[in-house]
Structure 1
Amino acid sequence: MDEDEFIERLHTRIERIWLTYALIATCAVVFLIELWQSRSWWTVRSDVLLSMGASFGPKVQSGETWRLLSAVFLHGNPLHLALNMLALWQIGHFIERIYGRSGALLLFVACGLMGSLASIWWRTQGLSVGASGAIFGLYGALLVWLIRRRHDVPMGILKKLRSGTLGFIGYSLFAGIALPGIDNAAHIGGLLGGMLLSLGMAAPFDRSPASQWRRRSTWLALLATAACATALWRTTPQVAVAWQQHVEFAEVARNFAQHDAQLEQQVQALLEQVRQRQIASVAAGRELDEVLLPAWQMQINRLASIPTGDADRPRHQALLNYAGLHGSSLQLLARGLMTGQPGWLQLAHQRQLEAQAALLGTRERSAR
């Protein structure tokens, strides 16, 4: 078979391709929605990516498994989208005609899922978006088809396709190692998924794409790919509980800081009333002891009861240390106001300085 005959027979298999263009159009429309929600024409905010379905290990493991697929259609910036869609356009023509529309769609979806699974298996805490895992799978499927059906392809076309496929895979994997922010785990997961599937789906060139669904090897390849996906899922480190604890602790710590600021304002307002002789020091001490301190103790109890993971435990202990010192200074201040003895007030001031030093240490831990 010469090159012209091969190209003619390739186009005869699928006269008009539209799946590739539909996938490109879907990614483009989704990206426009991302930009609109980000109020930007260049970068997409992380919170927008997360709300629209980016793959994120803790959320996926909490039941939002749909993110494994939705993340495939999301992209972080126009360059990310353009590079992926150019690669999809280049490979999609061949894959759609070789494997048919249903086969190409299966490869795209399955390899995208494999890429997402490999990504959270390797990096459980980071956001992952992009169609590159699925595209790597398509290149892997083409590479296996070229190897298995090399006698059906003219030598000139075989060499060009093989060198182009290997060049894309090699360069992209190298870029993923050399450059930050590239999810090579998704690339490798998608690539292996595409190669595994195509081992069973790569039908002879003289048969129609639909014939692959009547072959037992296709279904065996699907089962093998599903088994690999299940193994990735089961061996991925479980981070959902720790992440939920982190979110809950962050909310409690935020409320604690707001209450602490309000308490400080109330104490200063109370002391100012004493200085202005608007209230007796005994009455101020009693209000501090009977109203403000019990409310502060409730905040301490809530902070102490919240479970924390290893990452938040040092900050949790530091906040509890600060809360105890601050509460002690308020008790001493109340006693000094009610008794009128300056010694208690001096001790209260000293304990407050210790509390402020502990709070400074807490903020330094948060900044690390």
Structure 2
Amino acid sequence: MSYTALYRKYRSQNFDEIVGQKHIITSLTNQIKNNQVGHAYLFTGTRGTGKTSIAKIFAKAINCPHSHNGNPCNKCEICESITNGTNVDILEIDAASNNRVDEIRELREKVKYPPVTCKYKVYIIDEVHMLTDSAFNALLKTLEEPPAYVVFILATTEVQKLPATILSRCLRFDFKLLTDEQLEAHLKYVFDDSKIKYESDALALLAKLGCGSVRDTLSIADMCVAYSNRNVTYASVIEAVGMTDRQTLKSITKCLLEGNKGELLSTINLVASAGKNLVQLAKDMVSFVRDVLVCKTCKDYKNILKLSSDSIKDLEELAGITTTEKLIEILTKLSTLDNEFRFSTSPRNLLEITLVSLCDFEMTELNELKMQVKLLEKKIK
């Protein structure tokens, strides 16, 4: 049997399995229980947050003859046919490849025919923002007054591209990015269920790399599982995704803060010689220096960062030898590099020039005065 990717294998089949999005699930299940199903829905949010999964579950729930508390049974013939993608009354349309007015006119003609086996005929139009202006105009009347047996579910990642006339005809649901804690808990469930060994630090890093998206998190996890031969460690995740380890990041940051240009360039050379992507190094530096800034400025930094005790000690050490102003300057310069890399013929030279220039960071007169006042306050105390 062929291998199934983790994000496909663990795609939610009922509302209880959905990670996060409780505000949306509550609204939809209440509508189903109260028999108040709308005619047009708009699901908007970042990729991998559950838009298509919830659309399919909703299509099953409103058609399932044995639904319980708004959830489909997933056992009847209708539920199984929708899950397998063989139900003729549930149509999933990719607007990116079916974006012309002719296709929408064809859809409009098919809407006239009642469902064959289901109570509702459901049209799930994914990436709906890709439709042309003419296609949107052709859809307007049908979207406003469809037959009683038709439900439209429009899904998009770029809601700002939709005409106001479309927005006003739909019930809109905004999907939120998931927290690192939610992603970490879901990864733990997936790895335990799949009998994959893992380290807690590795799960935390994978959740952070997922950036709030379940699909992205599981896709990265899949790659790391293959690389580590089903034993996912923190080090294996670092290697698999091409990140720079925290000790190297600490070394570079310390050189920046102390103005040690020679050691800084030597460390970058070691990173480059190891085949690491220097564009990725710049991104990792932004994340690391941000952690130092949090450690420097926040009282509850341990709860915010949620790192191991050794990592916290490293951040505390660096925070103790610098100022908030210098950290902000480093973050500002490094954050602009991502755009400059696109037009640079030598990313390494650009990175080295930027970092060496940051070693010579000079305080403005105002910042110098602030530092002098702080020193005087310490002496008085």
Q: Same fold by TM (over 0.5)?
A: no
The structure whose Rg is larger is: 1
Structure showing the higher helix proportion among its residues = 1
Structure showing the higher strand proportion among its residues = 2
TM range (shorter): under 0.3
Give the alignment's TM-score, normalised by structure 1.
0.27
Give the alignment's TM-score, normalised by structure 2.
0.27
